[in-house]
Structure 1
Amino acid sequence: MKQKLTKGRLLIVFALLTLVLSGCGEPFLSTLIPAGEAGQIAYDLMILSTVIMVGVIIVVSIMFAVAVIKFRRKKGDESIPKQVEGSHVLEIVWTVIPILLLIILTVPTVITTFELADTKAMDKKNEDGTTDALVVNVRASLYWWEFEYPNQKIITSQELVVPTDQRVYFNIKASDVKHSFWIPAAGGKIDANTDNVNKMWLEFDNEKAKEADNLFYGKCTELCGPSHALMDFKVQALPQDEFDQWVTAMQTVDAEAAPQDPQAAAGQEIFNQKCLSCHAVSPADARPEAARLAPNLADFGDRTRVAGILEHNEEELKNWIANPEAYKPGNKMTGTYGELSDQELDQLAAYLMGLKLEK
């Protein structure tokens, strides 16, 4: 008996914890704290759906309770309650009400679907081939993300930079297996396929971005391999003037400039010998897409994470370079070059952490 009571208490505790923790969320990660127009539209639709469903549950539960209490069999009372079988009024009521509820739910759902799928602005080309809308080409690979800004002629990776308070349009595809692009706080997710390009738009509210320290999290949401759960990226949502400054700084990066620090200069030589065949340090990477086999590292020193998951410091960077398989099993960097000595690792880390944009 005591054992049953203990199990019952544990069950109640875990149920309460589940209920409490389900309300937890961070402004950079939760769909329940929308940070832009697309996210707010989806959130409003979710609230509408929830209200309708909860309303139906409450009404049905009340009717069930009334029926159980009022018409329960009593001792000595063998009378049969009035039968309502074949009542046209009741049949009309329980047919019309669900239809009305479906209409209330369907109309905004269809309108929202078409609104979120409206990407015509990114197809309107100027004479020089650019668009007035900000377009980002997203390419998903095992297990990293590439972000190309065709109008600005910039390619970067792992950290998406966008302006606030305007729609950003995305072309999304995959280079190897099926992935899925999702920024929970900004809006819905969409598949990244190898055989076609999917399109969507998102918008980041400036005030919401400030609450999140201008940093949101993105994820792959399609099981793509052993390190699927580690396929993260970050989103820097900046005011328009700061975004313009970032674009200018990226466009003026001199990838061939030799570092002043001798340690970093030695690291640049190592990088050119062992890493340059896959990686690039020029935002204006002119290589064809098929040759871009690994993340562009142009602004690596300014990023917030190493490999999307580790603390951004030289120690973690050296750990990653020395043994990437230990952190992201199945990644394509594993085994692509010979072992580096401790001195070479120090030099390479110094060079990569020095890849920063001029402020």
Structure 2
Amino acid sequence: MMKGLKKWRLFSLLAALTVFLTGCGEEYLSTLRPAGETGQEQFNLLVLSTSIMVLVIVVVVVIYILALLKFRRSKLGENHIPKQVEGNHTLEMIWTVIPIILLLILAVPTVYYTYKQGDVAGAEMKDEEGNAQNLVVNVTAKLYWWEFEYPDLGIVTSQELVVPTDEKVYFNLKAGDVKHSFWIPAVGGKMDTNVDNLNKFYLTFDKESEGLKDGVFYGKCAELCGPSHALMDFKVKSMNRGDFDNWVAAMQKTAEPATPASATAQAGQDVFNASCIGCHAVSGAGPANAVGPNLATFGDRNRIGGFLEHDEENLKNWIKNPQKYKPGNVMPAFESKLSNEELDALAEYLMGLSVEQ
């Protein structure tokens, strides 16, 4: 009776695990559903190495089971001694050569793709007029947000990386405070961002993100960096080259401040200029390395603080006490500094900062 209960407990546990595992493999987040050339190459290496390991395990287990069955005592007796094969040159050659072959099968493509994906010379290529031939993005990781600068386009954004599809995008990675790690699981492997040196790599985006959940790929920090490490993520919008060029043009136009759409938003702009402008910019055409995230596209984002639902109520709660939601970040609390009317006006103003039509 107890044995039957234990079996049912195991079955129930496995059934419960399947419920949790159904959340794996989402296209916007999973390394197992690659959405770019780099991610696909890394996935192919993963499949190859796993296949080799499974093959070795299966062969060893089969030999082990056959030995158990063939040489069991009940069949051959207590005193039977199997033929000794120690020093057999043929067998020694087999179990020496086969592992070498398997290692070569794994090593050759691994070395090839390591050097291929490490080739970032394209980031420096110029055309006859001296213009960059490929898109380069300077990524700066900070506690606990991300800044993306497009040096050849003269624009800066934060928290949402925007890229064209079907072409290599080169990244220069650095950290502004402590060590972080830049990772877009569905598109390619991670790369550390350090304070003292610059890391470089490239990714390709084969799929437009518009059809995905929330319309974005999810990016994450993959290096433990502090109490809010788990909340340090960013979003990636990938689009065709035409739409990307339109987005760039719209970002460049933010150099000229837009007139708020309502009197409340105008009041919110005044609050922003009095309380927030020292750390945040609202122009996507400004310089990089600001104290706080660039807010030029704040109204186009789908999250507040990287993880809260994008609505005015969450925005006001965040402004009042950001430490409550993301401990360790450097933004001060404004709960005692702004009235409810000022918070309402500021929230309406920020939600209206948009470059997407």
TM-score calculated relative to the size of structure 1 = 0.93
- Is the CA contact (8 Å cut-off) linking 1:325 and 1:331 kept in structure 2? yes
Tell me if structure 2 keeps the 8 A contact 1:27–1:211.
Answer: no
Query: Structure 1 stretch 130-139 or stretch 217-226: which is displaced more?
Result: 130-139
Equivalent in the alignment of 2:87 = 86
Identity of aligned residues (%): 57
1:39 maps to what in 2?
39
Range that drifts further, 12-21 or 297-306: 12-21
Q: What RMSD, in angstroms, separates the aligned Cα atoms of the two structures?
A: 2.0
Q: Which residue of structure 1 aligns with residue 12 of structure 2?
A: 13
Deviations 1:198-221 (A, max 9, x none): 111111113x64552651000001
User: What is the CA-CA distance between 1:21 and the residue it aligns to?
Assistant: 4.8
Taking the aligned partners of 2:262 and 2:60, their CA distance within structure 1 comes to 73
The residue identity in structure 2 corresponding to 1:178 is K
CA distance in 1, matches of 2:19, 2:316: 40
Q: In the TM superposition, what is the alpha-carbon distance from 1:129 to its structure 2 partner? A: 6.4
CA contact (8 A) 2:320 2:334 kept: no
Report the 3-state secondary structure (helix = DSSP H, G, I; strand = E; otherwise coil) of the residue aligned with 1:74.
helix
Residues 130-149 of structure 1 correspond to what in structure 2 (within 5 A)?
130-149=131-150
Superposed CA offset, 1:332-355 (max 9, x none): 003478531111110100110011
| Partner AA of 2:71 in structure 1 | F
Structure 2 CA distance for aligned equivalents of residues 93 and 353 of structure 1? 68
1:49 aligns with 2:49: yes
> Unaligned 5+ residue runs, structure 2?
none
State how 1:320-339 maps to structure 2 within 5 Å.
320-335=318-333, 338-339=336-337
Q: Residues 226 and 117 of structure 1: is their aligned pair in 2 closer, same or farther, counting only changes over 3 Å?
A: same
For residue 189 of structure 2, give the secondary structure of its aligned residue in structure 1.
Answer: coil
Secondary structure of the structure 1 residue equivalent to 2:283: coil
2:67 alignment counterpart: 67
1:343 aligns with 2:344: no
Give the Cα separation in 1 of the matches to 2:296 and 2:267: 18
Q: Which whole-Å deviations, capped at 9, do the CAs of 1:308-332 have from their partners, x for residues lacking one?
A: 1111111111111111111101110
CA shift, 1:38, in A, is: 0.3
Match in the other structure for 2:109 = 108
Cα-to-partner distance string for 1:137-191 (whole Å, 9 max, x where unaligned): 0000000000000111000000000001111000011000000000000011000
TM-superposed deviation, 1:15: 3.6
Q: How far is the alpha carbon of 1:22 from its aligned partner? A: 4.3
* Residue of structure 2 equivalent to 1:119: 120
> What is the deviation of 1:124?
2.4
CA contact (8 A) 1:28 1:215 kept: yes
Alignment partner of 1:293 is 2:291: yes
The answer to whether the 8 A contact 2:180-2:223 is kept is yes
Which residue number in structure 2 is paired with residue 356 of structure 1?
Answer: 354
Whole-Å separation in 2 of the counterparts to 1:140 and 1:347: 30
Matched, 1:302 2:282: no
In 2, the alpha carbon distance for the partners of 1:131 and 1:14 equals 56
- Asked if structure 1 preserves the Cα contact closer than 8 Å seen for 2:216 and 2:235, the reply is yes
The range that moved more, 221-230 or 67-76, is 67-76
Structure 1, residues 250-295: CA drift from partner, whole Å, max 9, x if none?
0011453331311110111111111011100111213x63xx1110
SS for the counterpart of 2:81 is coil
Conserved? CA contact 2:255–2:286, under 8 Å: no
Structure 1 pair 247–95 and aligned structure 2 pair: CA distance change class (3 A): same
Contact (CA 8 Å) 1:255, 1:281: kept in 2 or not?
no
Would the alpha carbon gap of residues 346 and 255 (structure 1) be closer, same or farther in structure 2, given more than 3 Å must change? Answer: farther
TM-score normalised by L of structure 2: 0.93
The answer for the alignment partner of 1:243 in structure 2 is 244
> More displaced, 40-49 or 19-28?
19-28
Report SS of the residue matched to 1:267: helix
What are the within-5 Å matches in structure 2 for residues 115-264 of structure 1? Answer: 115-125=116-126, 130-206=131-207, 209=209, 211-212=211-212, 214-264=215-265
